[in-house]
Amino acid sequence: MLIVSAAIAGAAEISPALKSLQGKWNGERVNSDGKRSKATIEVKDDKMEYRAFNNDGELRFIAKGNLKIEKAGDLRVLVISDIRAGRDADNLEPTDDDRTSAYAVREGKLYLASGFDKARDNERPRIEEFTREEGGARSSADNPANDKLLGKWKMEMQLGEQNMDYNLRFEKTGDAVQGVVISPRSGEHNAKTVTLKGDQLEMLVDREIEGNDVTFVYKGTVKGDSITGTLQVKGQEDQFSGTFKATR
């Protein structure tokens, strides 16, 4: 279990350099005849998608691949591997052609030097400029909950005069974080919301007390490998209130 949790947590982490590229970028592509047309780059986590359009704005080429950042002296380069390409997203074929491009990000613009790594038919070296699109896709790793919460925790709860032990698990589901409270007495209970703002956590978990549906509200502070806070049953705070501490 510890190995699986560590693997999940590790998968959520990407380098600061890769984080700086997250989102959608709009620019122009210059073909071998010197003609310009629209192009876009979208980076999400360690995946990259490139789209090129014709002069009428119609999609004419799309490529997807895995992305990593390397250093070459004082330069940073994008290494794109496992590339699949085609004329539309439903008809992509492996290209067996990894690409390496020097790049720089300056004041919200991405400058990309492509085609310098090796000679390719009907393609000349070029430098392209892309502008980040506001509200573009973000890495799931940009969510601080992914960095701080993912994994398995031991939780001790004091509710009234009762002291109880639980397990607590956070895992990534798409771009969100799913929390699961695991009781040795009643099994697993999925959180309906997990919110982390800065180091302040709020988690809502629907449970049942004496045949009645209730919502447990966990509010705590995350510091490294510990979470400490309060627990209340929504609408019944005067009867069910307590504290909890979780350690990774």
Can you spell out the DSSP letters for 63-106? Answer: EEEEEEEEEETTEEEEEEEEEEEESSTTS-EE----EEEEEEEE
Asked if residue 24 lies in contact with residue 137, where contact means CB atoms within 8 angstroms, the answer is yes
Supply the Cα-derived Rg of the chain in whole angstroms: 24
Eight-state DSSP code of residue 192: E
pLDDT tens, position by position, 211-245: 788 899 999 999 988 999 999 988 887 788 899 99
Query: What's the fold here for domain 143-247?
Result: Lipocalin (2.40.128)
Q: Is residue 90 predicted with pLDDT exceeding 60?
A: yes
pTM exceeds 0.85: no
39-79 per-position pLDDT tens digit: 999 999 899 999 988 877 788 899 999 999 998 877 889 99
15-138 and 143-247: same fold? Answer: yes
Greater confidence (12 vs 213) lies with 213
Give the domain ranges of the chain. 15-138, 143-247
SS3 5: helix
The span from the first CA to the last CA of the chain, in angstroms, equals: 13
Q: Does domain 15-138 have CATH number 2.60.40.420?
A: no
Q: What is the mean pLDDT of residues 27-33?
A: 73
Concatenate the DSSP letters of all residues of 105-174 into one string: EETTEEEEEES-SS-BTTB--EEEEEEEPTT----GGGSHHHHHH-EEEEEEEEETTEEEEEEEEEEEET
* β 176-183/75-86 pair status: unpaired
